[in-house]
Structures are given as C-alpha cells and as structure tokens.
C-alpha cells in the first residue's frame, strides 16, 4: 500500500502558524511528507510522553499508530491551547466511536471523516482554550446606513469553486457566501475597514475554529454596503460564543470581484 496519499491528506488540516508551526511527528512517519506541503514546519519526532513540556507544540500528526488513554492524555498536554491533533488510520473507517474517544480524552472541535475515497479514516481534535475571555455582547447596528471609515468595506467570503479567475472554465458558475452573525433584525455582516484588518482578524479566527473554509476577502463600495447591517472591525473576543453563519451574496456587487 502506498501510504503517501494518506499522509498528504493530513496537510490541509494543519493549523495556521506564525513564523513556524511546531509539529510533533508521532513515530517519525508524517513529517517528511507534510513538509512537502508546508514550508513552515519545525518538526520534532517521537511518541507523546510526560517527558515533553505542556503547551509545547502547535500540532501532533500520527499515521497508522495505535492509541490508548495514555497517548491521548500526553498528546493533549503537549498541545498548546487551540492546538490540533490529526491522525489517519488507513485500515479503519468512519465511526462515532472515534468522536466519543476524543471527547472522553478532552478534545474539542472534533472531525471524523473518510481519509480517501478508497478507505481509511481521518480524525482531528483540538485542545480547548483555557483562558476565560470576557464575552462582550455584540452591539446591534441599526438597519439604516451604518458609518464606517473610508470608501470601501471588506467582507470575508467563501467562494465555490475555490479557484482563481483564470482557472475557471467557460460557463462555470461562481458562488459567494459572506460571514455573518445573527442580529436582532436579521444577519449582521462581519465587515472590515481595510484588507489588512480583515486578514489580521482571519488568522486567530481560523486558529480558534471560529470560522473555516474562508478563501477570499472581497471589497464593496459604501453605496452597496449601506443596504446591509454591519459589525465593523470586530475582534475574535467580541464574537466568542456567537453562531457564525454564511449568507449568499452576489459576486457582481463587489467593487473588485477578483481581489
């Protein structure tokens, strides 16, 4: 069996990183392949034990490795808060029992899915954040025109298909969904006064699991945005505990649809 495709599928589940992603490679079986897909990996190989420092790694990757209670205990300790455990077993299949095991071990934001169409299971879980943020209630903005700095507002977008303009086939339809939260009078768009502010929000939001699968930041004019309810330049902390939803939006309404 060619194991490489099973390990390659783990790459898209690695969390975002700063200057480097501290990866713990269980048994030394995943690091070389994952490094082909991520150039920011700082890799340590071994087996999780009590000898490793708490909160010392960003992600733990395991391929075809047996798990017991001690393994999960040490892995959870080694991960930083929000850090991600990723494993693939090529001989197993999707089963609710994996969810139960990870929940019992203390992981959160659990994902269990088929590794490849040919078989195997991928399991993923995160170490919960332990710090207690003050959860500020979102101030609902009036349905009328909402003031925001500058001529444009930037929204976080999930584009389907996730392709640049040049890669789209003739006649291929592009769909956009914008990130919103629930307001008293309907959806409230998460909006940013500049592209850097949007990008600065995205990294911690993705790392904490607040948003996922967002692949675009699009710019809209003040005239277009005046018809929406906006929450301008939110922080991850102000959105703690809020339900994030996606709302369909017309790509042609963007000022620069190919941004």
> Would you say residue 22 has pLDDT above 60?
yes
> Would you say residue 143 has pLDDT above 50?
no
For the stretch 171-219, pLDDT in tens is 888 999 999 998 878 899 999 888 878 888 887 888 778 888 888 889 9
pTM over 0.85: no
* 4-126 maps to CATH 3.40.50.720: no
Top pLDDT among 187 and 147 is at 187
Write down the pLDDT at residue 256. 57
Write down the pLDDT at residue 17. 67
Q: Where are the domains of the chain?
A: 4-126, 152-253
Write down the pLDDT at residue 18. 62
Q: What is the three-class DSSP state of 41?
A: strand
Phi, psi of 114 (to 5 degrees): -60, 135
Q: Cα–Cα distance between 55 and 74 in angstroms, integer?
A: 11
For the stretch 80-120, pLDDT in tens is 998 999 999 999 999 989 999 999 999 998 999 999 988 99
Over residues 59-81, the mean pLDDT reads: 96
């Amino acid at each position: 069996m060619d194991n490489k495709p099973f390990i390659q599928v783990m790459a898209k589940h690695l969390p975002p990183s700063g200057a480097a992603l501290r990866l713990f490679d269980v048994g030394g079986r995943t690091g070389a392949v994952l490094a082909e897909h991520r150039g920011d990996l700082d890799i340590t190989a071994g087996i999780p034990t009590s000898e490793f420092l708490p909160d010392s790694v960003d992600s733990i990757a395991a391929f075809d490795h047996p798990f017991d209670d001690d393994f999960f205990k040490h892995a959870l300790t080694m991960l930083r808060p929000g850090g991600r455990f990723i494993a693939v077993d090529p001989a197993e299949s999707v089963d609710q029992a994996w969810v139960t095991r990870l929940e019992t071990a203390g992981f959160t934001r659990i994902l269990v899915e088929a590794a490849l169409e040919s078989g195997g299971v991928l399991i993923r879980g995160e170490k919960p954040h332990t710090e207690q943020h003050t959860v500020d209630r979102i101030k609902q903005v009036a349905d009328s025109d909402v003031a925001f700095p500058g001529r444009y507002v930037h929204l976080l977008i999930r584009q389907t298909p996730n392709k640049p303009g040049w890669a789209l086939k003739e006649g291929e339809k592009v769909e956009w969904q914008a990130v919103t939260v629930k307001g008293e009078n309907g959806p409230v768009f998460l909006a940013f006064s500049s592209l850097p502010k949007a990008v600065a929000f995205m990294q911690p939001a993705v790392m904490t699991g607040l948003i996922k699968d967002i692949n675009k930041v699009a710019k809209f004019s003040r005239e277009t945005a005046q018809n929406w309810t906006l929450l301008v330049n939110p922080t991850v902390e102000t959105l703690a505990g809020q339900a994030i939803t996606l709302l369909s939006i017309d790509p042609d309404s963007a000022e620069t649809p190919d941004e």
